[in-house]
Amino acid sequence: LRRLQFSSHHGEDRYFPGCHSNRSMCPIRLVISSQGGHTPSSLHRSAQAFRPNGSRLVTCSSTESSRKLQDRAVARRAETIRKLRDEHLQRRLNDHESDLDVTADTASSVLFDGETTFIVEPELTEGPYYARGELIRTDMREKQTGVTMYIDIQVINVNDCTPVKDMYVDLWHANATGVYSGVVASTNGNSADQSNLQNTFLRGVTPTDDDGVAEMISIFPGHYAGRTTHLHFIGNYGGTVLSNKTYAGSSVAHVGQFFFEQDLIDAVEAVTPYSTNKQTLTATASDNIYKAALGNNYDQIMNYALLGSSVNDGVFVWISVAVDMTAERVVKAVSTLEGSETASSASESSSGSTSGSLANTTTANSNHALKPSVFSGAAMVLLAAIAQMLL
């Protein structure tokens, strides 16, 4: 696999003439756009458009099928926490944590008791560091050091209140010192290190299962200048699983960002290697992207549970996301990961992921078939749903 990086201007991808039919023939230009594209005012307009979905989400929360889905989520997350905390004896949660004192003997019914409340999220920018064609896997840490983070994301169709199966969830974030893999830029670590263009750490794609659940292991994100700590999320649908364990999406995807409790961020920033990051830390409450959503009564802060007496023992984070399968979203990529292997059936390609269900059985040439400017086809919009839940 190798990665091509393309320049962009104000969020619009630009290519050399003659490169559209075969991206592998395009020269690499190591220039990227700024974090612009989505201003707070534009996010506000997007939020206004999504507000009608709120009543549907309220209806979803009261249906019998949703209650059963929540029960399964309680059981799944409780079992995950049980397995992860078996190595430790002492637990404590607060705020977007729980306000309970939690020990290894605390019953799951106490830890996760509560009702899921879906809250619609506005459109959020993918930022300048989105790269297309990432590896399908359930552990995207590679050799990156930091606080281990176990991610649990559940995706619900807002139109019929059912879980979304076979959505390929694309996650990416900065490492402990605020650097993204797959991009070379003056605003992304050492711009003289051209090898970073081919790196894939802290990027991964994983499918949702029958309950709409996608799981990933990573490290807690680091920060970089101008932004608070955050996790990027794209929901791809109706694409192709390739034999090189990457995903070629044909649907238009909505982009979201998830945030973290400031106390949790501060605790992580105090430990190595996060403490070596000299870039200015922006508080969550001061982040423009976060404020744009919060100003419309949206809350994208992930729920979390510490797995031990400190963040050094790891953290489990979770969130529920409501998806409008009838809406459209265009996504721009600054680079794309390419390979020469042809696609195989989903059953042959599924071994690279231990979570979720299989993709559609399809064939294609390779990730050269991806269009780095936009995804084509039918679209969806992800509307984040933060639970005041302990599910």
The answer to whether the CB of 385 falls within 8 A of the CB of 321 is yes
Q: What is the pLDDT along the chain (391 residues), one digit of tens a residue?
A: 665 555 443 333 322 223 333 333 232 322 233 333 344 444 444 444 444 444 455 556 667 677 677 777 777 777 777 777 665 543 333 445 654 444 434 443 443 444 444 544 556 777 788 888 899 999 999 999 999 999 988 888 877 888 889 999 999 999 999 999 999 999 999 999 999 999 999 999 999 998 888 999 999 999 999 999 999 999 888 888 998 899 886 675 567 889 999 999 999 999 999 999 999 999 999 998 888 777 655 668 888 888 888 999 999 888 888 877 777 778 888 888 876 443 332 323 333 333 333 223 222 333 333 322 222 333 333 333 333 333 3
> Which pLDDT tens digit goes with each residue over 229-267?
999 999 888 888 998 899 886 675 567 889 999 999 999
Which residue matches tokens 């650097």? 179
Residue partners of 45: CB distance under 8 A and separation at least 6: none
pTM: 0.68
The amino acid at 114: G
Q: 309: alpha, beta or left, given left = phi > 0 and alpha = psi -120 to 50?
A: alpha
Quickly name the fold that domain 2-385 has: Protocatechuate 3,4-Dioxygenase, subunit A (2.60.130)
Helix, strand, coil % in the chain, rounded to nearest 5 = 25, 25, 55
DSSP β-ladder status, 131-132 and 335-338: parallel
273 preceded by a cis bond (ω within 30 of 0): yes
Query: How far apart are the C-alpha atoms of 386 and 119, rounded to whole Å?
Result: 6
Query: How far apart are the C-alpha atoms of 149 and 115, rounded to whole Å?
Result: 24
All structural domains of the chain with their residue ranges:
2-385
